[in-house]
């Protein structure tokens, strides 16, 4: 017999780590390249430029990890509090919760009788899961995962930051600003295209929007370095 089981993998399943990874890599490239360009524009030596870049890489990776962990943990705390409240309500007033679930399905287009039947069957199967999904909008796909987000952000930030740092290490001192800026824009365009592709969007649009903001940041820091910088 032909199997009726059909396992589908949707792009939305990637949203937890993909968002954190793209944010980390983008921030790593932009912030480190901007830092290098800004310091180089102040007529600093190569050693000072690299020192600033390495410090930016380490501090940025740790900052991204801590920021993601704290923010996603706050989301997880809110979700857990809502689930605890829902669990208590199911224990103290199951009839009201069943009516509430039925009303949700009626609003989604089922007639009252069928909505009642669906609500009763889902409640019997997994009452808390049904309310979490259909009342609170919490699902396994979109559930907050603080550790995953923190690790993805820190790792991809470090990788992104290492790219302009490597260019600064091998480029002639007189060409560091130009080469770091140009290669960083190329890296950003590739990142935007790949991220858009992974999310199911158009690669060109994703590349353009990331590159635009990266160019803006690089230009602004170079200007600040020229105007206010001094040899370090």
| pLDDT confidence tier of residue 4, bands split at 50, 70 and 90 | very low
For 91-103, the pLDDT digits (tens) are: 899 899 888 889 9
Residue 18: what pLDDT? 67
42: in domain:
yes
Determine phi and psi for 141, rounding to 5 degrees.
-65, -40
Tokens of 127: 């009452």
How far apart (Å, rounded) are the C-alpha atoms in residues 142 and 122?
20
Q: Does residue 169 lie in a domain region?
A: yes
- The verdict on residue 43 lying in a domain is yes
What integer best gives the mean pLDDT of the chain? 81
Whole-number pLDDT of residue 231: 41
Total domains, the chain: 1
pLDDT tens-digit profile of 179-193?
A: 998 999 998 888 878
Q: Is residue 5 part of a domain?
A: no
Residue 6 lies in a domain: no
> Which range marks the domain in which residue 139 is found?
14-228
Percent of the chain with pLDDT over 90: 17
Q: Nearest CA to 50 among 198, 197, 170?
A: 170
Q: What is the pLDDT of residues 130-164, one digit of tens each?
A: 888 888 877 655 566 788 778 888 899 999 999 99
Phi, psi angles (nearest 5°) of residue 9: -115, 120
pLDDT of 199 reads 64
92 lies in a domain?
Answer: yes
At residue 197, the pLDDT reads: 73
> Residue 163 falls within a domain, yes or no?
yes
């Amino acid at each position: 017999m032909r199997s009726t089981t059909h396992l589908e993998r949707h792009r939305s399943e990637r949203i937890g780590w993909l968002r954190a990874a793209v944010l980390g890599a983008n921030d790593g490239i932009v912030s480190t390249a901007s830092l290098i360009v800004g310091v180089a524009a102040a007529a600093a030596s190569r050693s000072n430029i690299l020192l600033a870049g390495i410090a930016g890489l380490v501090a940025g990776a740790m900052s991204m990890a801590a920021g993601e962990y704290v923010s996603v943990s706050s989301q997880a705390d809110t979700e857990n509090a809502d689930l605890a409240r829902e669990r208590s309500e199911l224990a103290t007033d199951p009839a009201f919760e069943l009516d509430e679930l039925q009303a949700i399905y009626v609003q989604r287009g089922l007639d009252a009788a069928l909505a009642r039947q669906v609500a009763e069957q889902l409640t019997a199967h997994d009452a808390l899961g049904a309310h979490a999904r259909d009342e609170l909008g919490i699902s396994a796909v979109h559930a907050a995962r603080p550790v995953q987000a923190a690790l993805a952000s820190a790792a991809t930030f470090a990788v992104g930051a290492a790219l302009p740092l490597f260019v600064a290490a091998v480029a002639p001192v007189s060409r560091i600003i130009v080469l770091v800026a140009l290669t960083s824009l190329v890296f950003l365009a590739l990142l935007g295209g790949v991220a858009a592709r992974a999310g199911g969007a158009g690669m060109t649009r994703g590349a353009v929007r990331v590159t635009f903001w990266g160019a803006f940041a690089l230009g602004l820091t170079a200007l600040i370095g020229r105007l206010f910088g001094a040899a370090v």
